[in-house]
Amino acid sequence: MSRSPDVRLADVDDPVLEVLLALAVRDASPDDVTPPLGAGIGWNAERIDWFRSYHRSAAAGLHGPGGEKSWAVLCDGSPAGSIRLKRTAEAIAETGIWLGRGYRGRGVGTAALGLVLVEARRAGLSQVVAHTTAANTGARRLLTAAGAILAYDDGGTVSAAVVLPD
């Protein structure tokens, strides 16, 4: 019987940022981690610059000017990916997560989402939403396990909402 991984959230300072970036380049599709940027495909200078800039700006937190906070997801002490909350309304935030391929399917995402929902409650939020595609069965399972209600549109987008208890 395998044990559950020890999953924690960590603030993204510059040293953690560089380890996360190395993980992303080595073990994640850039399309899973960044918006489409730059010429060509794959990890390019524009995507790498965006990644660094995004995490540095999200360090200010939910009450900062961008209303966004990102954390490194640590699995057994090693960076496994990143998760975020972005305030979209007074008591609502959107979440998103990416994990390196080697950490998927091991319960890391479920644990990280549970931890970010705790952070959302601490911040006074009443709901956390997420968006994915109908083809992303892993994300749909993760969201459903967290208690999300899923809504499908005709274009293949899935919207999820988790109502947080008082």
Helix (H, G, I), strand (E, B) or coil at 38: coil
Sequence-distant (6+) residues with CB within 8 A of 134 are 140, 152, 156, 157, 158
Which helix (H) or strand (E) covers residue 18, if one does? helix 14-27
41: pLDDT strictly greater than 90: no
Range of the domain at 50: 7-163
Answer yes or no: is 132 within a domain: yes
* pLDDT digits 0-9 by tens, 130-140: 999 999 999 99
So what's the pLDDT on residue 2?
A: 62
Domain count, the chain: 1
Confidence band of 64 (pLDDT split at 50, 70, 90): confident
Closest by CA to 80, choosing from 41, 27, 122, is 27
Sign for the CA dihedral angle at 109, 71, 18, 6 comes to negative
Q: Tell me, what CATH number does 134's domain have?
A: 3.40.630.30
Answer yes or no: is 36 within a domain: yes
Answer yes or no: is 22 within a domain: yes
* pLDDT digits 0-9 by tens, 98-137: 999 999 999 999 999 999 999 999 999 999 999 999 999 9
Answer yes or no: is 67 within a domain: yes
Closest by CA to 108, choosing from 5, 33, 19, is 5
Residue indicated by tokens 């190395």: 22
Answer yes or no: is 2 within a domain: no
Answer yes or no: is 28 within a domain: yes
Answer yes or no: is 142 within a domain: yes
Answer yes or no: is 1 within a domain: no
